[in-house]
Chain A
């Protein structure tokens, strides 16, 4: 039987629905030592800002049961260096590039987006309005409906590529923020970003992470992520990209059944560098077993 793994996220055509999540895959070079990136649906690069950022103090990462906390703090060399040193290389790997963009102000977001679009190297923008680890630059834009709608509207005016808005789970009703992003002109939504967590070092009697709090990700958050994707899919008519604790093809299918057109893989890359290619294979095997030719046949079936 022929299984077609190809999916569309709005106007974005992907050879399969699996992409590494922003922040978990650098700019692709490291994992290209393990497999060729053209197996992936797309590569979503680390959060990029206008100016270089060193990020938070260490420790920046710690393990928790069936998950991890991170507080990297949007460490990145700035958009000009990213275009020059990273995207130029990545654009030669025969895989669509999605650039995750963050900023401290509406102007910053717009300027970064303009630069990405002008570079001609990327196929879509993912707007990070949900980084929990920096005072500004993200979360401040992602938790207030009016602020979010305004940001998306402003960015959209400068954006010639499909605009994906990445939603924060650290809100009371994520669907309200999804509606706001849709009203602002988002072409697609990705969710969820990390939940805010904390772990205490009993010996030191203080939080393990230098930033005190960190973004909680990994297997443990999957039920929360599936529920949130479900809630958003019920209220918003935009293509959705699901993520949160995806480790297997079956995990990915859960998100598809509540309405995801594609999925992103984060923490699993750290546990197994081959997580993404394995998940792609497992999705195909599952489809074959179930007699499904195209994921559209089951998308949203559990809604």
Chain B
């Protein structure tokens, strides 16, 4: 694919817009692409990055990622017109609810981007969307305005420099009657959400992150144990989105 635009959103979060040949029509919110870093000779493992937005009419894909290592650093330095090799869309995305459902979307840090495409899809279904976005601090904020197009957004920061002080669960004071929770973020956040809603009737879908080698289900590198701990599921193949009832968070 070809780089259409590469924008820095915060000191370490970048938004990469890609165009060119891709199965845009097939994209489900929550799926990812697996990107070759350079020519792959020094970096043999592709980097899985979630799809933040897919524009079928414009034929473009937006990936939003945080620079955490050499692979994402390479991505952050791409220029308009550069070509990259990626596989996808891969994995299974978020199952969508019935029309007009009242849903809660919770994202933490670099887990936020795939929830953007989800909100677009939920909005098409006329869902009422409450959105909680958790960041480290005010300088870490990104995509908040974009999410505000689709729902009622509460932001949280760990240091209280913006919005509610504390983790995303601190923003859950008056629980509404949400039918479904969609979430992506650090494991402790997903666990806290599950605990918070343990006595409520709510379907929960979480998107997991794990180090991967193949990205297609062949290497069994990115597994997560099922709830009864008798089997495993592959984050890249059966996931990255799972019902929190089926896996051991």
Contacts and interface: CB of A to CB of B under 8 A. Distances in A.
B144 interface: no
- The size bracket of the interface on A is 35 or more
Contacts of A68: 44-45, 213
B216 A273 contact: yes
A82 to B, nearest CB: 13
B223 A271 contact: no
- The interface residues of chain B, by DSSP majority, are classed as loop
Interface in A36-81: 46, 52, 54-55, 58-63, 65-68, 70, 72, 75, 77
A278 to B, nearest CB: 13
B45 A26 contact: no
Interface in A245-273: 267-273
A271 B221 contact: no
A270 B220 contact: no
Contact of B223 (A58, A63, A67): A58
B211 A54 contact: no
A287 B72 CA distance: 39
A75 B222 CA distance: 11
A218 B44 CA distance: 8
A61 B221 CA distance: 6
Interface string B200-231: 00000000001111111111111111000101
Interface stretch (B14-22, B35-43, B58-66, B114-122): B35-43
A26 B213 CA distance: 12
B235 to A, nearest CB: 9
B44 A75 contact: no
B115 to A, nearest CB: 23
A297 interface: no
A36 to B, nearest CB: 16
B194 interface: no
A66 B211 contact: no
B218 to A, nearest CB: 4
The 9 closest A-B CB pairs, nearest first, are A61-B221, A26-B218, A63-B45, A61-B213, A30-B218, A30-B217, A59-B211, A271-B40, A30-B216
Interface of A: 23-26, 29-31, 33, 46, 52, 54-55, 58-63, 65-68, 70, 72, 75, 77, 218-219, 267-273
Given A218-B44, A271-B36, 18 more contacts: A23-B219, A26-B219, A30-B214, A30-B217, A46-B220, A52-B231, A54-B229, A55-B223, A59-B211, A60-B222, A61-B212, A61-B221, A63-B71, A72-B220, A75-B220, A75-B223, A273-B87, A273-B216
15 contacts: A24-B218, A24-B219, A29-B217, A30-B214, A54-B232, A60-B220, A60-B222, A61-B45, A61-B219, A267-B213, A270-B45, A270-B213, A270-B214, A270-B215, A273-B216
